[in-house]
Structure 1
Amino acid sequence: MTDTRFLLPAALAATYLATFGLALATAPTDRLILAAAIAAPLIWLSLTDLARHEIPDTATAIIALAGAVFQWHLHGLTPPFALTLASAAALTAAFWLMGSLYHRRRGTEALGIGDAKLIGAGTLCLGVTAVWALLLLAATGGILALLLSRRREKAATGIAFGPFLAYALFILVNFPIST
């Protein structure tokens, strides 16, 4: 019998490594450094969210810190830097509030606080003008995964959104959009 415990971690690591490898040809050095700094926490939080529907605060904090340092590198201690920090905090609060209100009204969790914090950390990595792309990529991946899971006999009742946010963030760090 084959031991498959390491199949998912290996597949995730290979996917992130392939994405990083493609970016080596085109991405600026500072973005490659950011991508390298956040890859392991993104993979860790993805595996944890898939297993327990929980995003480790430490992983999100590492990503947020790397993003804040990246924004400081880009802007220094200027108003755009402060705006990015404030926007990340505001988006975290807004998504947490929306998720909390949905949970209170429907009795089921759709967007948890871990997802909201990861969106805030992603804002620090990408800047506020790229949040729409982060959410679009992550939601598209999540919807496709849900549709594919419903084709099986035992359809999933919910999916972990963190892995989709994580990989969308990694893609956009390596291949930034023009805003």
Structure 2
Amino acid sequence: MRIPERRVELAAGADSEGRFGGPSTGDERALLTSVLDAQRATLQLKCAGLGPELVQRSVPPSSLSLLGLVRHLADVERRWFRAVLAGQDVELRFSSPEVPEGDFDGAESGPEAVAASWSAWHSEVAFAQALAAEAPHLDVEGHDAWRGTVSLRWVIIHMIEEYARHNGHADLIRERIDGSVGV
């Protein structure tokens, strides 16, 4: 039996396989959406098999938790794809001007709260995937109060960065919960 030598080898397995199996050449939209989908799948992998531990906080005084990340990323997907690119007049699901950290601070354990958070995330991801697939091109634009005019291309790249950064947080939180490490 070969002992894994690198952390990345420790989490290799059926759940991990295929996440990064998308194209590595060719159409820009296919490349970008494939990388974003792999980052989304990584978040799911980091949360897999957990129950109440999903709300275990990272380190005091932070309110960062895996479920908080799911809620935060549901709001981020909603903001960029629904509000900015699709121009829908929607509120965020978990945060607000009155409770700006509601995505993290409001993360509660319990099957109903966890299911509602995942349902929101899946709904926002599905909307974003459909918008990205159906847009006539990556130069479709929307307006954001923070960035001004943004393109679908920029939003997808920003979302890859957003997920990659938070998946790094998820790596550390998951390792703290049960010792799971790797990709």
Shorter-chain-normalised TM-score: which range?
0.3 to 0.5
State TM-score, norm by structure 2. Answer: 0.37
State TM-score, norm by structure 1. Answer: 0.38
**Structure with the bigger percentage of strand:** 2
